[in-house]
Structure 1
Amino acid sequence: MKADRRSFLSAAAGAGLAALPAAAAPSPAVQARYDKLDAILKQPVLKRQYFTAPVIIESVELLHLDGAYLCRVRSKDGAEGISVAHSTMNRLFPIFLKDVAPFFLGKDARELDLILEKVFIFGFNFRFSGLALGLPLATVEFAILEMLGRMAQKPVGELIGEVHHKEVGVYMATEWREKPVEESLKLIQGAVAEYDIHALKIKIGGLMFMTTDMYAEGPPGRTEKIVPLVRKTFGDKMALYADSNSFYTVPEAIRVGRLLEQYKFVYFEEPVKFDHIEEIKQVADTLTIPIANGEQDFDYYGFRWLMANDGLDIVQPDNYYFGGLIRSMKVARMAAAFGKTIVPHMSGGGLGFLYDVQFVSAAPNAGEHHEFKSFKTHVKYECKTAPMKVVNGKIKVPTGPGFGADLDPDWVKKHQPVRL
């Protein structure tokens, strides 16, 4: 129960903990949670037992065609893996080529966990933050996991854990918060009607910093109107989620959270500024609706603090932004240790939906529904072990090697290497 969860700190550390200075040492109970989380972070994710001999990475290429990118990794023994880059690679390819790819050359791919730690030190890469480093790093990692999966003849889910979910439930992720309620609702209905879907996420609040108008707050009263209207339109059987993308202050987030509770929304995503961890906890401590956060995180600190201090219910690393599936799986493991759920954020088109379902398949504490926008993609591929359809609200996870998708070789050949 939420009430029991919220009573943890008051029982363990005293009611005055929230008023202590930020520099104060954690209570013994909280420190024990930190110790447990730190031990989890040290545990490797990649299953080395499938690879008895070194897998030396000989080349890491970035390929380009019509404004989109692929990463191709090859080993000295001729194994190959290709990943599809996030759409933002068109701005980040210099970091990929100069600051990320060179570190992987000559490394044993079986040491992928360690490589993903040490690359932050290489060339002072830690000075890059967010997706500037995470996205190039994830792109290489996906290609390596694809290569290793094909070598072992295993799906990626089996390389990074045990397969707990052969199907992944999805929610339709919608936008349009800048539009009037009636127009938004029609667009939402159209998106939901495209697929056999039983869960939906809407945007609430204003655009905050995601607009050229720094004072834009969205149509007045939009949230208060759309929340009950969406519930009325789709009925009680539709699972509803709400995302404010960090728009609210703590008092406003609590006010809106009460509205979401009234209309039985499943969780409230990014209710306040995504890196204001104490404020996230304040909202979570006050509301009964579960609080989700983590899409913008680029290191373990925020997740670690919020889990140690019991300030978050659902963790949401983005598999691209956070630097790949292995790093995200460590967050999932930390969450599982304290009964939390993982619902990874999904971004970037391409084959993001495929990378996401492979990850979710291996997360025992995965949520009921996961982010989905569509199967529309520029990528020419074939998936032989799953139809890539939403059936009764779920996507079947491919069981083929790697991520389970075969890229059209003629299409791949059209891509040209990117040079600086």
Structure 2
Amino acid sequence: MKANRRKFIKRSALAAVAGMTAFSTRSTGKALEALHWQEEALDRVLTEPVLRLEELKDPVWIETVELLRKGDNFICRVRSKSGAEGLSVSNNMQMKHLYPIFVNRIQPFFIGKDARDWEKLLEEVYVYQSNYKLQNLAFWVPLATLEFAVLDLLGKLAGKSMGALLAETIYHPEIAVYQANNYRGKSAEESIDLIEKHVRETEARALKFKVGGRMSHNRDFPPGRTEALIPLVRERFGSEIVIYADSNGSYTPEEAIRIGKLMEEYAYDFYEEPVPFDWYEETREVTKAITIPVAGGEQEPSMHGFRWLIKEDALDIVQPDIFYFGGMVRSMKVAKMAALKGKPCTPHISGSGLGYLYMMHFVSAVANAGPFHEFKGFNNEIPLDSPTSSLSSEGGKVTVPTGPGLGVTLDPEFVAAHRVVTG
């Protein structure tokens, strides 16, 4: 059963990839397993365009880029010379620390540029003022904030949703969710009751909970919680529900393998970040030693790093965070590289702002998306109108909003209450 679960995940990803003719073995005439072909194909993904902007025949000159703030909420507003507007809400947990990078290192570069050149501009702004020295979420979160506003703008002009800007086919108009939980610090018994409460509220058919102590060098929090909780979750929910576990890099390879084998006994469906995120070779060691699929990539800032993790089969499931990794365009390249190797993409999404909404649009366009995606509920503190989706989990699924751009409208009075950040 355990091995069959792992094989099923990989077969599902390969079936989804079959429709991606640009990356299929039929288009190359070579076997997917050939190493030389793999490397050429991975590199081709990195050079081929992502955005579909055929409808936009004329330049979309960016006239203004503004970062607006009210308290700890940040909105990016982009306006074109023709008067079109795009808005995004940032990852506020990070932007409250990072807004000077947006204002001083990103915003000035894009004034007067053609928004249709976004993919080329991503490469250029990385070098501008030596921004590559900031690579990690310090740079990528502000840049993703701008990208989401630009995609909202381009989507409105092209009459396409954000997802439709990324792929010719909308593969997932509805997103099946897994209920994410974090009750470290509570006993196994306290944790399981809280996990069950939230799963029942969303009717999710999958869940994820935390094990270990977060980058803790094998310490549990509290001691004994993980080994008690792993069997308890399966016993409480039965054999039908899909169960994921996230260690947030808690373990050394030896301990990670031991915990992974315990998860195997209870037929868990993936094991996230078993060792610290930048331990690439150790991640591969764990992946090869256990049968439960290993997921990771939430913290990965480098495209080349993802290329190595995918090529070397260090991960079974890739999890770029669309804020932490700099947006949907870069993340789509990761998803397509993973597709070449028959690996699913299950993006991580960090909290606050409208992160879950952006994640849904991204997943809608990913052919090799995993079966379930993270859900912690929507931010009800940001007033918006969504005529095509309740933005809530109904029967364990959330409908992706349709309509141009983001597909929702932020309350104009809410936006007007924000003030321009100048430095």
* TM-score in same-fold range (> 0.5): yes
**Within 1, Cα distance between the matches of 2:230 and 2:415?**
45
Q: Is the 8 A contact 2:186 2:222 kept in 1?
A: yes
Q: Which amino acid aligns with 1:207?
A: R
User: 1:344: Cα distance to partner?
Assistant: 0.3
**Within 1, Cα distance between the matches of 2:55 and 2:48?**
17
Q: Is the 8 A contact 1:208 1:217 kept in 2?
A: no
Query: Is 1:301 the counterpart of 2:308 in the alignment?
Result: no
1:285 matched residue in structure 2: 288
**Within 1, Cα distance between the matches of 2:222 and 2:229?**
11
Q: Is the 8 A contact 1:169 1:369 kept in 2?
A: yes
Query: Which of 179, 193, 196 is the aligned partner of 1:189?
Result: 196
User: 1:120: Cα distance to partner?
Assistant: 0.8
1:170 matched residue in structure 2: 177
**Within 2, Cα distance between the matches of 1:376 and 1:72?**
19
Query: Which of 149, 156, 160 is the aligned partner of 2:162?
Result: 156
1:10 matched residue in structure 2: none
Overall identity of the aligned pairs, in % = 48
Q: Which amino acid aligns with 1:128?
A: L
1:235 matched residue in structure 2: 238
Matches within 5 A, 1:310-329: 310-329=313-332
2:49 matched residue in structure 1: 44
Q: Is the 8 A contact 2:230 2:266 kept in 1?
A: yes
2:83 matched residue in structure 1: 78
Q: Is the 8 A contact 1:34 1:304 kept in 2?
A: no
1:272 matched residue in structure 2: 275
Query: Is 1:99 the counterpart of 2:105 in the alignment?
Result: yes
2:222 matched residue in structure 1: 219
Deviations along 1:324-380, whole A, 9 cap, x unmatched? 000000100111111110000011222111101100000000000001111233211
**Within 2, Cα distance between the matches of 1:187 and 1:376?**
20
Query: Which of 145, 151, 159 is the aligned partner of 2:151?
Result: 145
User: 1:29: Cα distance to partner?
Assistant: 4.9
Query: Which of 341, 358, 362 is the aligned partner of 1:359?
Result: 362
SS at match of 1:200: strand
Q: Would you say how many aligned residue pairs link Structure 1 and Structure 2? A: 394
User: 1:217: Cα distance to partner?
Assistant: 3.6
**Within 2, Cα distance between the matches of 1:390 and 1:117?**
37
Q: Which amino acid aligns with 1:329?
A: M
**Within 2, Cα distance between the matches of 1:64 and 1:187?**
34
**Within 2, Cα distance between the matches of 1:372 and 1:281?**
28
**Within 2, Cα distance between the matches of 1:383 and 1:156?**
15
**Within 2, Cα distance between the matches of 1:392 and 1:192?**
11
Query: Is 1:198 the counterpart of 2:211 in the alignment?
Result: no
SS at match of 1:302: helix
Q: Is the 8 A contact 1:350 1:377 kept in 2?
A: no
The alignment yields a C-alpha RMSD, in angstroms, of 1.8
**Within 2, Cα distance between the matches of 1:164 and 1:399?**
13
Deviations along 1:106-159, whole A, 9 cap, x unmatched? 111111111112111010000112110010000000000001111112111100
Q: Which amino acid aligns with 1:177?
A: R
**Within 1, Cα distance between the matches of 2:351 and 2:79?**
24
Query: Is 1:68 the counterpart of 2:76 in the alignment?
Result: no
SS at match of 1:61: strand
Deviations along 1:144-196, whole A, 9 cap, x unmatched? 00011111121111001121111111101110122211221222122223212
**Within 2, Cα distance between the matches of 1:352 and 1:301?**
25
Q: Is the 8 A contact 2:316 2:343 kept in 1?
A: yes
Q: Is the 8 A contact 2:212 2:218 kept in 1?
A: no
Query: Which of 349, 354, 363 is the aligned partner of 2:352?
Result: 349
Q: Is the 8 A contact 2:309 2:315 kept in 1?
A: yes
**Within 2, Cα distance between the matches of 1:181 and 1:217?**
11
Q: Is the 8 A contact 2:212 2:219 kept in 1?
A: no
Q: Is the 8 A contact 1:46 1:160 kept in 2?
A: yes
User: 1:33: Cα distance to partner?
Assistant: 2.1
**Within 2, Cα distance between the matches of 1:240 and 1:103?**
44
SS at match of 2:54: helix
Q: Is the 8 A contact 2:176 2:373 kept in 1?
A: yes
Q: Is the 8 A contact 2:79 2:86 kept in 1?
A: yes
**Within 2, Cα distance between the matches of 1:30 and 1:300?**
19
**Within 1, Cα distance between the matches of 2:351 and 2:124?**
26
**Within 2, Cα distance between the matches of 1:391 and 1:374?**
12
**Within 2, Cα distance between the matches of 1:255 and 1:43?**
41
- Which stretch has the larger CA shift, 28-37 or 385-394? 28-37
Deviations along 1:243-291, whole A, 9 cap, x unmatched? 0001111111111111111111110000111111111111111111111
- Which stretch has the larger CA shift, 354-363 or 370-379? 370-379
1:25 matched residue in structure 2: none
2:380 matched residue in structure 1: 377
**Within 2, Cα distance between the matches of 1:229 and 1:302?**
36
Q: Is the 8 A contact 1:153 1:400 kept in 2?
A: yes
Q: Normalising by the residue count of structure 2, what TM-score does the alignment of the two structures yield? A: 0.90
Q: Which amino acid aligns with 1:50?
A: E
Q: Is the 8 A contact 2:218 2:252 kept in 1?
A: no
SS at match of 1:120: helix
SS at match of 1:400: coil
Q: Normalising by the residue count of structure 1, what TM-score does the alignment of the two structures yield? A: 0.91
User: 1:31: Cα distance to partner?
Assistant: 4.6
